[in-house]
Amino acid sequence: MATILDQHGKPLTQEIASIERDLHRTFYGRRLTNDDDTLVTRGKTKGLRIYEELKRDAHAGAVLNKRKLAVTSRPWSVQPASKAATDVKAAELVTQALDHLRFNRLCKRLLDAQLKGFSVAEVMWEVRDGLWLPSRVMARDPRRFIFTLDGELRLLTREAPLEGEALPDRKFIVHRYGGDDDTPYGLGLGSQLFWPVFFKRQGITFWLTFADKFGSPTAIGKYSPSADDTERKKLLAALASIAQDAGVIIPDGMVIELLEASRAGSVDTYEKLVRYMDEQISKVVLGETMSTTAAPTGLGSTQASVHNDVRLELAQDDADELGETLDDTLIRWIVEFNLGAGVGVPKLKRTFSEPEDLSARATRDKTISEMGWEPTEEYMLATYGPGWVRKAPTPDPLQTLLGGPPSTQQDPGADTTGDRTVAATDADPAGEFSEADAGKPLQAAAKQRTAHRQAQATLFNAADTLAADYQRMLGDQVQDLLAQFEESQDLPTFRKRLVALANAQPSKAAVDAIARATFAGHIIGRGQAPKPAGGLRAMISRMFGG
């Protein structure tokens, strides 16, 4: 589409589709009427009062208040426009001014715009400490105000009931909710809330009628054809007394019966209707239902969490819109009155960050730890805060009983000369008691068990030493085996020579070493060996001629 230019070749800046050129609207002079359909069709002489009456419904009043509290319960702060000294000073001035007011109460009154479309508050200025500051900000009934075609707010008075009186600048705060850009009246939630609240009230009325009709039987009195007016009045009085008294008396010949009413339909029909309307009210105000009314079925806590996130998104949007209104009115006026128009206007912000679910974080950390990772002390302090120290390692119960060092320490009798070191506790890491220990005192059995493990560790170390010293004992046999392999032309011939070598007598050194080791093992196993001089290592070296 071609751009329409002015006579200087620049784009037009004036408004073209202004509200006064809207052929769908009806105007009374320069007065702009509220085009809320619900307000036009149902408001009549009450006007916005019909939306105020919606708060009398218990559920509607609760969710409306809940939506306000979702904003006002959050901490607020005033952020400077920049780091310049004058802008920081402006933010400090505004913070002090708002602290002097009942600020959250003011925010709740301005948030009435959510229900009615717009709200109005009047600022009462005073000189305090040489500065022009608000002493009070009072909410006013929006029914007392109208807007002109230019969006100007005017006050309806006895002297000007139609066109209203003009109002001074920097005096009245107007907060709007919903509606189009060309509708200064806004469009509140009352337009949607009216009908579910209305149907709920009608449903409760029918429910009470149902309970009255079917809760107790209807009394029927019968009189004879010859009964005169006096007798008929006595019978009618007796019927009236049934509803109040436990018993009545009637003349002889008169009959009173109780008629049980029959009904078709479920007794919970009206309850379902009322609950359904409550759900619609929650959806209109909060955008969801489960943060107010728990559902018996569904996805459980996950779905409830999603619903609560929707409610928080609405609350944050409400806070942002309210902050923009106050930034452009009250906060700007405080700055301009005291610091001039050239100073950056600070911004009102509310904090909506939710605390982290540490239970979910701990579950995740446990999973990562099971994968082989360990958190640092800095991470633990930053995530879970102070007050945590590392748990001491769990001691070996056996060593605790004996009063000795933890089982993770190396046994003094362990041999560290070879590639493999066997501690006294490695032979039996479980540390369980055998049948041989049954009936012994716990302390004595523990000592005996420790001695068994040390002896077994000695044998393991001796076997390692023996295997490592094969060259001295079996070197000649190995060389003969390699020579026979080189000389053999085929595997059958090598197999025959290998059998001959296996049947040959071992060397005297090998026989002596194995004999000494076997003898030492018998002695250690029987518990008859004296403590060797120089320790177990020296004993093993002497056995193998080292």
pLDDT in tens, the chain (546 residues): 445 665 666 777 777 777 777 777 777 777 888 888 898 889 888 889 999 999 999 999 999 999 999 999 999 999 999 999 999 999 999 999 999 999 999 999 999 999 999 999 999 999 999 999 999 999 999 999 999 988 899 999 999 998 899 999 999 999 999 887 678 899 999 999 999 999 999 999 888 888 776 766 667 777 777 778 888 788 778 777 766 554 454 566 666 666 555 555 566 888 899 999 999 999 999 888 776 665 554 444 555 566 667 778 889 999 999 999 999 999 999 999 999 888 999 999 998 877 777 788 888 888 888 888 888 888 888 888 887 777 776 665 444 444 445 444 444 444 444 444 444 444 344 444 454 545 545 555 566 667 667 767 766 766 666 666 666 666 666 677 777 777 766 777 777 777 777 777 777 777 777 777 777 666 666 654 445 555 555 555 555 454
Tokens of 322: 């309210």
pLDDT digits (tens, 9 = 90+) for 490-541: 777 777 777 777 777 777 777 777 777 777 666 666 654 445 555 555 555 5
Confidence (pLDDT) at 538:
58
What phi and psi, each to the nearest 5 degrees, are found at residue 247? Answer: -150, 155
Confidence (pLDDT) at 134:
96
Confidence (pLDDT) at 28:
72
Do 183 and 24 contact (CB within 8 A), yes or no? no
Confidence (pLDDT) at 254:
66
Residues contacting residue 349 through CB under 8 Å, at least 6 positions apart: 76, 77, 78, 79, 323
Residue 306 one-letter amino acid: V
Which helix (H) or strand (E) segment holds residue 133: the answer is: strand 131-140
What letter would DSSP give residue 355?
P
Residue 68 one-letter amino acid: K
Cα(48)–Cα(190) distance, integer angstroms: 9
Partners of 131 in beta bridges: 128
Do 185 and 152 contact (CB within 8 A), yes or no? no
Cα(265)–Cα(272) distance, integer angstroms: 13
What is the distance of C-alpha 415 from the center of its chain?
A: 58
The CA-based angle 297-302-305, given to 5 degrees, is 110
The CA-based angle 481-483-487, given to 5 degrees, is 120
